[in-house]
Amino acid sequence: MKEGYRFVDCDMHIMEPPELFEKYLDPEFKPRVTSSLRRMEGGATGMRGRPTWYFDGQPLSNDGIVSQYNRIRGPLVGARGNKNVMFAVERGYDSEAQVVGMAMEGIDIAVLFPTIGLSFMARDNMDPQFSAAICRAYNDWLHDFVQYSPDQMKMAAMLPVHDVN
């Protein structure tokens, strides 16, 4: 709170953990999701050092072949030497790091959105049951994530869009 006003960030992004689907996806759908932490050509491991997920054998996006993601770099753009960001990196972008980061920025409440997860529903003709399972896994993980400080962190749920009827 500053000068009697509460600050709300209505578009804060989280970093999804590498084990999201391993821990939260319905077992029926687990064979359809694979993740790769292996080094790709150019030194990248996916978006900013995070996993590259594959749904039904297809990468979520073209991050691995887009030039901006093929450079060897630190965990986040501009993060090198920034002890505030490095705290989050060292903690694996966990809930506590999110709340500490909010405090550093003077943010009282944040509505949390995905980062890599923005690509989860971004494909045509996705099996509607698989789409719903992906959303459930993400939402279950995010629900657990915000429990560290539910008064400060608010969920923006991921909704399946492949069978609106």
Q: Which residue ranges make up each domain of the chain? A: 8-155
Q: What is the mean pLDDT of residues 127-136?
A: 97
**Crossing angle between the packed helical segments 95-105 and 128-146, to the nearest 10 degrees:** 60
Q: Helix, strand, coil proportions of the chain in percent (round to 5)?
A: 35, 15, 50
Which ranges in the chain belong to alpha helices (H)? Answer: 20-24, 83-90, 95-105, 128-146
Instruction: State how beta strands 109-113 and 153-155 pair.
Output: parallel
Cα–Cα distance for residue pair 9/110, rounded to 1 Å: 5
Average pLDDT, the chain: 82
Residue 2 banded pLDDT, cuts 50, 70, 90? confident
pLDDT value of position 132: 97
Measured CA to CA in angstroms, residue 68 lies from 28, 78, 108, 133, 135 at distances of 35, 14, 33, 31, 28
Q: What is the mean pLDDT of residues 43-60?
A: 69
Extract the tokens encoding 139: 């939402």
pLDDT value of position 62: 58
Distance of CA 55 to the CA centre of its chain: 16
**Is the pLDDT score of 80 beyond 70?**
no
What's the CATH superfamily of 8-155? Metal-dependent hydrolases (3.20.20.140)
pTM passes above 0.75: yes
Task: Report pLDDT digits (tens) over 119-130.
Answer: 999 888 899 999
**Is the pLDDT score of 47 beyond 80?**
no
Extract the tokens encoding 97: 């790091």
Residue 10 banded pLDDT, cuts 50, 70, 90? very high
pLDDT value of position 60: 81
Cα–Cα distance for residue pair 100/74, rounded to 1 Å: 21
Cα–Cα distance for residue pair 51/104, rounded to 1 Å: 27
Cα–Cα distance for residue pair 135/77, rounded to 1 Å: 28
